[in-house]
A and B are shown apart, each in its own frame.
Chain A
Amino acid sequence: AQSVTQPDIHITVSEGASLELRCNYSYGATPYLFWYVQSPGQGLQLLLKYFSGDTLVQGIKGFEAEFKRSQSSFNLRKPSVHWSDAAEYFCAVGPSGNTPLVFGKGTRLSVIA
């Protein structure tokens, strides 16, 4: 069965510091991997996605993620965090369109001055 684990429930970083959010998945075939961000009171917005090819993918808002098949991981990174990045981040795995994604429980990011 497909599953996604985000080991960190809550992370606090200082503004300007680097960020890495962890995501591990379990999937029987080549996965399609996604990171979504949810700001308070808002829906989920796609940050980036991996389908195939280059294992380092770039997304919006300066985020990137690296697919590591050997580790079943798809960690999200940002070199310098801004206060506006404070939000909930969800990793998801799935095949493709027409089928639902399986989401992790999310990681809440707090940014301090």
Chain B
Amino acid sequence: DAGVIQSPRHEVTEMGQEVTLRCKPISGHNSLFWYRQTMMRGLELLIYFNNNVPIDDSGMPEDRFSAKMPNASFSTLKIQPSEPRDSAVYFCASDLQGATEAFFGQGTRLTVV
């Protein structure tokens, strides 16, 4: 398996634009997590899904953020409109019920100018 795949790896966008980050979890995994990493706050959980259903989105900072998981092999994190303070590295991770390890993608570095 190629692991958790995130795209794009880097995104530079202007303030006010819509940004969509994509994640393909490891095949067979039934949990998916979106994290945001910043220098100030470290790794923060934004939202996670079990069996494609959002379980906890309390970490989503504002209504500008939304996440979907239309099927077991794909998830998106959307920011609309984007702001400079959204600049961070966004990680996706997947896991399997009863498993003992979450696997992380390589992240998307988002810069909003």
Interface residues, chain A, CB within 8 Å of chain B?
32, 34, 36, 41-46, 49, 51, 90, 96-106
Contacts and interface: CB of A to CB of B under 8 A. Distances in A.
- Looking at chain A's contact residues, the main secondary structure is loop
A100 B48 contact: yes
Contact of B106 (A43, A96, A101, A104): A43
B95 A98 contact: yes
A97 B42 contact: no
B105 interface: yes
B113 interface: no
A103 B56 CA distance: 17
Contacts of A100: 33, 45, 48, 56, 102
Contact of B42 (A32, A99, A104): A104
Interface in B69-91: 91
Contacts of B56: 100
Given A43-B107, A98-B95, A100-B48, A106 B31 contact: no
B95 A44 contact: no
